[in-house]
Structure formats: C-alpha cells, structure tokens
Structure 1
C-alpha cells in the first residue's frame, strides 16, 4: 500500500499536470519555442498556487452569486491576508490554536471581530463557523436534511469511525442501535456497581501508597470496563488487570494497550479534521492511525467473529426466532447487533462508534465534574448532603433515587454546559463550548460554575424559552442515543464516590494551564488549574508515564 502522501499526490497528478500541459502546448505547439519538458513542468508547478487561488476565488464568487439569487446574506468573511497568503495564515492560526490554545480560542479573536457566525477560508476552502442557537437549531432539527456530514468529515474520520453512526448521514445505523438504548435496565446498574467498587478500591490503594489519585486515568478505566461489559459482554478488567492475564483471551489481547491505542488514534484523526482533505501531506510517508487501529481492530474483530458464530448456532437451533426485534434484560449491544445483521464490518464500526461515546464522553464529564467539585467545596458538601439524605451512606442508588436528586442533575448539567464533551462539529463548524458560555444567552454569570442555574429562576428565564442554547447531547435526529444511559452512569458513580469519600481536593498537577491563558484573558481560561485538550472529546492533559 502506498504511503498516504504519495497516494494523495498520485490522485492529484492529472490535475497537477494541467498547468504544465498548458505551458507545453502554448510554448511548443503554438509558439514553436522548443522548450524542454522539464522547463514546462517547472513552470506548471510554479503556477499551481495561482491556479488554486483562481479556483478558490471562482468557488467563492459562485457562493456569493447563489446567496444573492436566494436573497440571502452571507456571514462576514475572516480576513487574514490577501489571497493564498491569507488562506495559509488562516490554516496556521487554526492549527496553532487547536494544539496550544484554550478550546474557546480555536477561532482566536475572530468571534469578537466578526460576531457569532462567520466564514473562515483555510487553504483554498470555505468553512462556516457559528455559535448561534437559531443557526444550530436549523442544522440539527428544522433543516436537518439539508446539512450532511459530507465527504470532508467522513474521509478524515473513516480510519477510526468507519461507516458507523457518528460518521454517516443515513438512518440505517441509528435505527440499528436505537432499540438497545430505548430503556434503562437493571443490568446496567449491576455493571456500574461492579466497576465502581473496583475503581474506588483502586483509588483507596493509590491514596495509601502514593498520597494522590490520577482520577482521569481511573475513571477512563471505569468507563472502558463498563462499556466493554454492556457492549460485548467482556470484562476487560483495566481496573484490576492482574486478574485477567490468566484468562486465555487476555494472553492474545492486552486491554491497556487497546485503550492507549484507541486514544492515540482519536487524537490523530481529530488533527486530520482540522487539517482538512490535505491531511495525507502531514503524514506523507506513514499513516499514523493504522498501527493504532490495527491493535483496536484486532481485538474488536475477534469479539465480533465469536459473536457471529454464536448467533449462527442460535439461529440454527431456533433459539432466537421469537426475539429478533427484542432487547432482553441481559443482552449486550453486540447480542442485539448480531441478531439484525451478519455483516462484520457494520457491526465492528458500530461497536467502535458507540465505544467512543460510552467510554470517552462519560469519562470526560466525570473528570470535569470532580475537577469542579475540587474547585467549589461548598458544592461538593451540598451534593453529599443530598446523597446521604436520599440514599444514605452505603445503599446502592436506583433510577427512582436519581429522579429525586435535582442538585445532582444540576451539577452534571452545569459541568456539561461549561465543559461539553464534544466541543465542535463540522463542516459548518458549530461550537457548543462557546455557545454554552455566552453571557447574552446565559446571563452575566455565564462563566461561573453554578449548578443552581438549572434549578432557580434562571432556568425559566434563559433555558426554557430557548432550549437550543444547551446541547451537550446534540439535538434533533442526531441527538445522542445513549443520553439517559450516560446520565445514569455519571450519577451512579458520583453517588458511590461521595458515599466513599467526604472530601476531594486537587493534588499536584503534572501539566499546568499555560501562562498565556491568563494573559489578557476574558474567559474561564484564566481560572483553570489544568490544561484542557481535544481529540474527539475534551480531556485534561497529563504527563505520559
């Protein structure tokens, strides 16, 4: 297989040779000058920036004409310089902000200059950015059918997400998965309890031996073990790996390596999306995702093949004949999928997509909830009082308990407002992260962490009249299928955590927030004690071990 950069250029060769063919025809055929072929090639290559700029200018003029014909007004266009220089400046600025900046700085100072919706033009392309609720409502709900994810997003994410639900525009994948998340099940709480007990036990062990806990690491293991249980019925045991290696299954697959490769792959494809269709040039000689996804795919493919074999035996014995469309109490998502399709690629891609949602987004939210509790001890104290008064110091929580715990839900929602797990979406790029922090939408205290805003009069004043200002789980046809599952898992773990610990404090931070975040900063970044980073989800950066 050709390296990504070579393959990319090979596809572009016919187009790239057009200028050279033009010069050869003009100089040798029409003018009879007898220029060497290499001279024409050199002239052609030097003309490429002009050609790209001309094509980009033509495309942008077509957009303006189409808008005018529809009596529409285009958003303002970011000006970062003239022609190709401006396009390059825009791309460099976006990449730098993505790697080094605070999540709300991804678009730099442009929102202040151009408003809540504007056009950016990185390297001969056009992207619309918005943090306007009415525009986002059109994208997700009222005009959903008009706005596809498109080839740019799909091609950049394909190496990890394949054709799964988060990387497709059709209804098939959502219809395939929706029944599994249609209702809460007692078995989910059994899974949460089993892994929460292991996570808290590991925390106690680390506290006694090291004096501190890497909460993000442990909670990522908790969500991975929980997700693997409800997705494919396998106990990965990353919270207690020594228990697994005697098992024949884990002599072939190391769950810790699986988790690490999965995280690295997500980081790489997120950078590809920022770079755009020309990402192969940044990975010219080596596909950086392939080796990571080889580890992930080897594990998932093995699990899927085993499940398909079991499903075939069950069908032949007619045991599944009467429950084709049902989701039974003890079913895993894999059990459900193999009853509906025998295509291993469809099943594998769907499992990986839901794993992203089931592991990383929940781990991100729990990490930031605990981060906020360390920064606001009075909130932690009030939450613990609610837990002890409704559930007590040791009883396992139930779904009915959660319905009565308004402050717990308010804390989760307030964390999702300030730290939404999926901050950006493309190709019309909308920032939930920035929209959730707008003072004109949430009031003058929008940058403050205050769970009471989801309980007191501010709820009726801001959110109830305009529900599209709060979109941690998306909305419309693309709303998160596992929303209630996520709320249950987050709530369950927080209850168990605060039944076990009465206080939580922020220990030594391995990577501090960059000093430039607090220089001339107007947002929350000046208050951050940790460094926030992005791949497909939001997380806190730590030193590698």
Structure 2
C-alpha cells in the first residue's frame, strides 16, 4: 500500500513537472523563439574557462577566478583580459545554472542605458542592499518613483546652486592647512574623503560634519562619519574581517546599527532645520542649501532624508575617488603638471581664487579630468537586469555583430573599465595617461566614455562634482609643487566606488607666489 502511494506521488510530481514544462514551452518558450526569429539573434561568445568544456562546473570556476582576482586587486584587469582571451566584446557565462552576460560594447551600453531604458532594472538585490541605509531615493527608486525623485531634485543642481565657489574655498582652505610643507610624504586619499564629506554635508544639510577640523568634531558627527563609511564599504564589515569573502554574505549586526545611525543623524538635522526656520526664512536665505530646496518641494521627512543620503553618497565618495585617482596620476607626468600650471596662471593667476566661469574655460584641466575618469572610472563596472524578454544589439554570432536574446531576469554587466581602454577606440596608447587625446580634432568617443553613466539616469550632479574637482586641483597646483611618492602600479580598491588601493602618496613643497621655486 505504501509503495502504491509513493508511486502515485512520484507520477503526480512528474506529471506536474511535464505540465509545467509544456505550459512554459507554449507560452514563454514560444514567445522567446518568436522574438529571436524577429531580431535574428545568435548566441554570444562564451567566456574562456580554464576548466575543460566537458567538465560541468556550473560557473563555480568563474566565481573562484573572480574572488582570486579581487583578492589580488586585479579584478578589473581580469575582466578586461576575459574579453581579450575570447576575442569578443560581449561574453556569456553560466553561474549556477543562470546565464549571465558582460559587455564592453558601446552599442549595448547605449541600449541598456538609453534607447532600451524601459527594458532594464537596477536589480532587486542591489536596490535592497543600498536602500538599507540610503532609503528609497533617486539612486534606489525605479519607475514612477524614480521619475518623481529626478523631477524634484533637478532644480537643486541648476547653475546658481553650484556656481558659488565660496563654500568650496572655506573647506579647501582647511584642507590645505593640514598639508605638510617640509617635503615629507603624505597620503592625500583619506584627507580627500574628509574634504568631500565636509563640502557635501554643508551643501546638502546646511551644516558640515567638519571632518577636517581636528579635535573639534562633535560625537554625533564622528559617529555619522564612522557609520556612513561602514555602510559604504563592505570590506570594512566585521563578518568580512573575520571570515573573508564568505563574510560578505553573512548577517551583519554592526551594519544594521550603522544604517540606523546614518538615518538618525540625517533626521536630527532635518528636524532642527525645520524647527529653526520658517518657509519664508528658507526662501530668503542668501546661501544655497539643498535641504531648504527639498523642504520647499515636500514635507515628507522620510523622502527628504532618503534623497539627502542618496545625493550624499554620490557627492562624497565619487568626488573623493576621482580626486584621489587624478592626483595619483598627475604628478607621475611632470610635463602634464607643468602644462596645467601654465593654464592656471593664464586663466586664474598665481594666487587668486578661481571663479566658476574661469574653471569652465580651462580646457586642459577638463582633458586631465576626462583622462583620469577614462583610465580609472569611479564606477568601473555596473549591471542591469532585464525586466522582460529583450535583446542586445550586438555580440551574437562568430563575428559578434548579431543581436543576442536576453530573457527576463537575466543580468548583463557592462564593464566600464575595459570599455574605456579599448585600443580600437582610444588608440594603441589606450592604457596610457595622455590628456592631449581629448583636445585632438574629431575625437568623440560617444558611448565608449560614460564617467557619469548616460541616458535618463545620467548623473544630475555631475556639474557640481566637476566644479568641486576642478577647484581643488587648481588650488593644489597653485599652492604646491607636487611629486609622486608611489612608484608602484595602480591597484584597485573596490567598494561602492573605486580608488587606488595604495592611496595617493605625494610630496609637497609650497610655491612662492605661484612660481617654480617650489620644485622638488
């Protein structure tokens, strides 16, 4: 009797599986075959595996290779090498039974970020992890909620909000006071992160964390800085420090505590701002404050806090990373540094504070920033998840020119690092730091250069970020002769953004009246 029951159960389960498969073939399978036929899709090139093809690995070999590369600080190079080894710009590989794609093709990037924007999502897991401490704001919202966030925030980044450089000068002056003038080596990277946090918090909240003010920081500000950095960098987590990469997938009680501390700090400032000013006071305030603009658009505290923290993440980490990477490269190329100093003397002078208009007219400085973002993109890799069955324009077939079928739920990573270093686009010197390429007639990389993403989700704060970077660089070069003190090869340190793992070690010597007497 028991055997008969088990047999019936087995038959029932098999019947259900067959029925499910038959239904899938009659609906989803048929729809995908029709889409593939209409678009003329072909399979993508498979990633080259070091394991023989007849041995099923279920993608474990790819995961192991990635973890090894991350540990060696060569993950970005490893992905670039994957494209080179396969001789293709779009690759497919299997991870635990699921197909995943990665691409360095500008046409595919353009489709995901712009022309096919509605077909793609940021991905549920990514939104879940980021919203844990940022809340639901412009970087974590999608659909109508994202459009509402963008419409609400766009006026906050109009020219009048970023053209006043007095806020920058206040904090850059504090930064400069902490720099040695005795030729000893200093790592600028941690100071740059403090500088950009101070600028961002004053611009957003109306009050700074004053990270650069030694010995005078409040406990609230210190706690916020610690909590914010902990949430932003998974490699600071206690599970990671104890268990290594396995720890990245384990619960983190400290992470939850820090996420709440970040929210509490923001809520406190919002409450104080509301209590201290009337709407009329905020309207008549001479100095631009992002929070005041938000309060004029909505009274929802959760929305205000979420949008503030979303922008703070972008305004602090990305700008600090760009400055750190740029000042790592710049002193390694004395001829570039000399040319930049000459441009600063021409447009600004030896000691004058630069204006917004002067900064925007400095073409060589812009070229240097572009080149730094090209070689060391702040977000070197990103991804999208297909919302419904769609295609990528290129990457299929032997020559990689046919479209590729991308089923709903499939992840496609676009590798900005290798896209920015393609020799067929940037020339045989694509791996070299050469700002002059951006001043050459006819040089237009288009979608092969996406330092601030592109399409509808292009960074709305890029003008503010670039103004801040240009201002800091000008004041540094005006005041100091800068010498590189790190002859090693740049290696990545990945978190939400990417910086050099070795920091930004330089030697500084004060210039006299902006002249050359400060040479080291």
TM-score, with structure 2 as normaliser = 0.78
Judged with a 3 Å threshold, the aligned counterparts in structure 2 of structure 1 residues 265 and 28 are, in CA distance, closer, same or farther, namely farther
- How far 1:177 moved relative to its partner? 1.0
**Where does residue 532 of structure 1 map in the other structure?**
492
- How far 1:64 moved relative to its partner? 6.7
Give runs of aligned pairs for residues 141-540 of structure 1, distance below 5 A: 141-169=114-142, 170-185=146-161, 188-204=164-180, 207-208=181-182, 211-244=184-217, 250-251=218-219, 253-255=220-222, 257-268=223-234, 283-287=249-253, 289-310=255-276, 314-315=278-279, 330-427=287-384, 428-457=412-441, 460=442, 462-463=443-444, 466-501=445-480, 503-507=481-485, 528=489, 530-540=490-500
**Where does residue 76 of structure 1 map in the other structure?**
45
Give runs of aligned pairs for residues 11-90 of structure 1, distance below 5 A: 29-31=5-7, 65=33, 68-70=36-38, 71-78=40-47, 80=49, 85-90=57-62
Query: Is contact 2:162–2:463 with CA below 8 Å preserved after alignment?
Result: no
Between the aligned partners of 1:309 and 1:381, the Cα distance in structure 2 is 51
Judged with a 3 Å threshold, the aligned counterparts in structure 2 of structure 1 residues 242 and 26 are, in CA distance, closer, same or farther, namely farther
Deviation readout 1:90-117 (Å, 9 max, x if unpaired):
2222333234342423536421215111
Query: Is contact 2:161–2:288 with CA below 8 Å preserved after alignment?
Result: no
Judged with a 3 Å threshold, the aligned counterparts in structure 2 of structure 1 residues 309 and 422 are, in CA distance, closer, same or farther, namely same
- How far 1:84 moved relative to its partner? 6.5
Counterpart secondary structure, 1:291: helix
Between the aligned partners of 1:27 and 1:95, the Cα distance in structure 2 is 48
- Please tell me whether residue 138 in structure 1 is matched to residue 111 in structure 2: yes
**Unaligned segments of structure 1, at least 5 residues:** 1-24, 34-53, 245-249, 272-278, 513-527
Moved more, 381-390 or 298-307: 298-307
Judged with a 3 Å threshold, the aligned counterparts in structure 2 of structure 1 residues 224 and 281 are, in CA distance, closer, same or farther, namely closer
Query: Is contact 2:230–2:236 with CA below 8 Å preserved after alignment?
Result: no
Judged with a 3 Å threshold, the aligned counterparts in structure 2 of structure 1 residues 197 and 30 are, in CA distance, closer, same or farther, namely same
Query: Is contact 2:80–2:418 with CA below 8 Å preserved after alignment?
Result: no
- How far 1:536 moved relative to its partner? 1.1
Counterpart secondary structure, 1:472: coil
**Where does residue 16 of structure 1 map in the other structure?**
none
1 or 2 for the larger relative contact order (CA 8 Å, sep ≥6)? Answer: 2
Between the aligned partners of 2:149 and 2:372, the Cα distance in structure 1 is 29
- Please tell me whether residue 107 in structure 1 is matched to residue 79 in structure 2: yes
- How far 1:508 moved relative to its partner? 5.6
Between the aligned partners of 2:34 and 2:425, the Cα distance in structure 1 is 32
Deviation readout 1:353-402 (Å, 9 max, x if unpaired):
11111111111111111111121011111111111122111111012212
**Where does residue 99 of structure 2 map in the other structure?**
126
Query: Is contact 1:128–1:429 with CA below 8 Å preserved after alignment?
Result: yes
- How far 1:129 moved relative to its partner? 1.0
Counterpart secondary structure, 2:377: coil
- How far 1:456 moved relative to its partner? 2.0
Report how many residues are paired.
Answer: 452
- How far 1:500 moved relative to its partner? 0.8
RMSD of Structure 2 on Structure 1 (CA): 3.5
- How far 1:229 moved relative to its partner? 0.8
Query: Is contact 1:338–1:347 with CA below 8 Å preserved after alignment?
Result: yes
Counterpart secondary structure, 2:95: coil
- How far 1:162 moved relative to its partner? 2.6
Between the aligned partners of 1:127 and 1:329, the Cα distance in structure 2 is 52
Higher strand share: 2
